[in-house]
Structure 1
Amino acid sequence: MHSDSRLTLARSLDAQDPLARYRRLFQGHDDGGIPAYLDGNSLGRPLTATADRLADFVRSQWGGRLIRGWDEGWLELPARLGDQIGRVALGAAAGQCVVADSTSVMLYKVVRAALAARPGRTEIVIDRDNFPTDRFIVEGIAADRGLNVRWVEAEHDAGPTSAGVAAALSPDTAVAVLSHVAYRSAHIADMEGITRAIHEAGALVVWDLSHSVGSVPVELDAWDVDFAVGCSYKYLNGGPGAPAWAYVAHRHLGDLQQPIHGWLGSADPFGMGTAYEPAEGIRRLVSGTPPILGMVAMQDMLDLLEEVGMTRVREKSLQLTAFAVESVEELMGAHGVRIASPLDPEQRGSHITIDHPAFKTMLPELWNDGVIPDFRNPDGLRLGLSPLSTSFEETYTGIRAIADLLR
């Protein structure tokens, strides 16, 4: 298909897209200085309503109610938003999710909790191509606790498989830490099958859903997942540094031992007691004072996702990534660009990675022109396609700009 025909196709797909009307709810969607924002898998665009919500919060709640706000809803916000994330995007019943801390801190907490639930076991399993934070935290905990790390090997354009994980498990495995959608390739792991294999080995699993939540539906309860964590600044559009969330299955809450004993995770925070006693339920995963401003920013996107539904979001994502793959192959295939993501749409999340040795030096010029993907070593551009804020024409415009610069 000639490139002009592909542009026509993009516009036709946008005209037929039942979710296209939601795009104009996002701030900057019509910014001519940024013709192609292809990094929603790193930082999602803000909703215009969020700017109004934040301004109103500063004036009316922070400024108007001051410290009284804690008794008027702020203290309940971590669990309330956690329940909404669970309901909307995770297939999780109420009382199992909470918003707090960063992804790194939440991951540390739940890995330590999983280890405490499997005393006497001495190994942690993780894939070698997992996100650096996941690997660094696992290695740090292992060094601190005198444990061994067993590595799952995976191709850089794929991710962990059921067979690969099963081969790394042993009777000494306490916990496996894996990402559902690989941060580089967008490969979707078989969460249900891998979780089953881990349980058959007597171990527990922690899933990192940072590149899944809000773009790929999951069923944490139905798939018998033990623990999960994820960020909220990608497809949940909570803004830079927005607080993360964590999931702990009901069956683990009664004995949950997390390592950072803060006052708001205690049974009676305002009793100011002399000894720590953990709160009941998911609140015991909380440590310090909740980052309320970051939680305020994600509420509009959660409401929008609940309105649209994850099934429709996923359908749009599948169409966008398929269109992107076809466009890259047509415009850049002859120049040696390689698709470093699964070619089966059902096997990838909402971004694709394309590899070429020239890409490492091209990013500054692309960004200067308002074409914004991101770069991942060794030579990949990631094209993040956020289903509710990215159009087909925007996707084409970005890919065409990359192709023109490559030529």
Structure 2
Amino acid sequence: MISGTSHDGVDVAVVDFEVRDGVLHGTVGYTGTVGYPPELRQRLVRALPPAPLTFAEACALDTLIGQAFAGVAADAIERGGPVDLICSHGQTVYHWTEGQRVLGTLQIGQPAWIAERTGVPVVADVRIRDIVAGGQGAPIVALMDSMLLAGLPGHPAALNLGGIANMTVVRAAGVRAAGVPAAGDGPIAYDTGPANALIDAAVVRFSGGRRSYDVDGELAAAGTVHSGLLEQLLAEPYYALPAPKTTGKELFNADYVDKALALFPGIGDADAVATFTALTAQTVADEVRRYGVDTLAVSGGGSDNPTLMAMLASRLSGVRLTTTAEFGAPTATKEAIAFALVGWQTAHGLAGNAPSATGAAGGRILGSIVPGTGPLRLPEPVAVAPTALRLIGERHE
């Protein structure tokens, strides 16, 4: 289970994993997305950076989100059948960075509520071990991306368009920037910049809070990209940093939108949203070209925005643009499947990070485990980690 950087609810997936002939096969029995109660989402959004936050409110949100996750888990088990283990990513509320160095990360949603409600052991707090080992703590989904696309020829990559855009280049065409790994050194993965974060913030601003996102990209489609604003946005220093790197709403938030628009008074609502949408398309396309990607599999909420996808396609002539659904991972819940995989890796004594992607000193078994009702019993460790993943089946509700 995971709630992403759009902070709108919980994505969940029930997956049955089995190793056969060195390949990990995952049968996706059930997936779903459950929105936060409106009052909880509003309370969470009000607490996010750059807002000040008390320990009392942090404690309350940790509890309330934990209870929300517990409810989603119990419902998924009722619909998808009994499970042996739950992996809960929780809700990221802060990623502490200084330049390219990550010092800490905070995901809330107390996992004890999940274990108590379901009686099932819970793997949680999965990012911090990678950070302690010198990594960025993200993108953790690079492990699944590289396994899922391992059989493709050429130079494939996976792109997730949530609040923030992250990309995993499975095999790069070569070194295209100083300081990045060469082709053959493992997957390269990092946050390219904002995906929906600034688009959503602009829509909230212009609608007075009545709308939280650009439905079907209609507002952006009605506008014209403002060249001056786009040029200003592209000057953001983050884009020039080499990989591995991570970012979040600590940087790309409503204040960022306000400051950018203050430089261009009078810009129309639709034109502004069109420009923030073009920023996402341009920054992603720049990175796709940097690594010579020839197949791009897209997931996340942004993949349902036809205006964003059209802008991306227009900038990526010659690149095959598809979605992760082609490989058995539904676009809306692909990251939930990825964290089910992380839980499976942890339970079987296998690293859940990709060091070439996060910058960690090596592979690490991720997370802390909260026992369920009875004694904690883990399966026998797997001696050789599978390097490919095949997903089949899916029932969505």
Q: Same fold (TM over 0.5)?
A: no
Structure number with higher strand proportion = 2
- TM (norm. structure 1) is 0.24
Larger radius of gyration: 1
Structure number with higher helix proportion = 1
